[in-house]
Amino acid sequence: MFKIGDYVAHYKEGVCEVMSIGKLSISCSDKDKEYYTLKPLYNAGGTLYTPVGNEKKQIREVISLEEAQTLLNEIADIELIGVSDEKHRESFYKEALLKNQCRDWVAIIKTSYTRKMKRIASGKKVINVDDRYLNIAEKFLFGELAVALKMPREEVKGYIKDYWKEN
């Protein structure tokens, strides 16, 4: 169970702060359940509610500083997504995002970025699917690393660039 003030990783919104815990007086809520009220850290206008039981695994604990350092040290070893069919790749990207795991986000970023650079180098257009999921995965990964590394999200990309090496 999380406490008020904890940071959690939400599978659709990224890092959120637990603002309150309790029953809701919203018509669509189960009056017998307790809910976390979550405030997305990087979306000033949003508020989310998720059951305290978290049966659907919508939220998880944000990675620790040690886990962030381990992830950064392993980035070069994380494999690209080996799906050549465009429709299957988008499906894999969606599944990877829903898993709400940093390693999966790294795989999406590495795959999308590598594909993007190869297409640009050969004079082709960038594929929208790759670009869209690259941006989403970066938003989630950089947001979570910013919390773990205690730095502004805008500085994370520059901080971790030395860890990104071509496979």
What is the CATH classification number for the domain harbouring 73?
1.20.58
Q: Which residue range forms the structural domain that includes residue 103? A: 65-163
pLDDT above 70: residue 165 = no
Instruction: Say if 54 falls within a structural domain.
Output: yes
Residues 111 and 84 occupy one common structural domain: yes
pLDDT tens across 5-63, in order? Answer: 999 999 999 999 999 999 887 766 677 889 999 999 998 778 999 989 877 788 999 99
Same domain, 104 and 136: yes
Domain tally, the chain: 2
Q: Is residue 126 part of a domain?
A: yes
Return mean pLDDT, the chain: 90
Tell whether 41 and 70 lie within a shared domain: no
From the list 116, 106, 117, the residue with the least C-alpha distance to 157 is 106
pLDDT digits (tens, 9 = 90+) for 92-112: 999 999 899 999 999 999 999
Question: Residues 6 or more apart from 125 whose CB is under 8 A from it?
Answer: 119
Q: In terms of DSSP H, where are the helices of the chain?
A: 65-74, 86-99, 102-121, 128-149, 153-160
What pLDDT does 151 receive?
96
Domain presence at residue 149: yes
Supply the pLDDT for residue 167: 39
CATH number of 37's domain: 2.40.10
Enter the pTM of the model.
Answer: 0.89
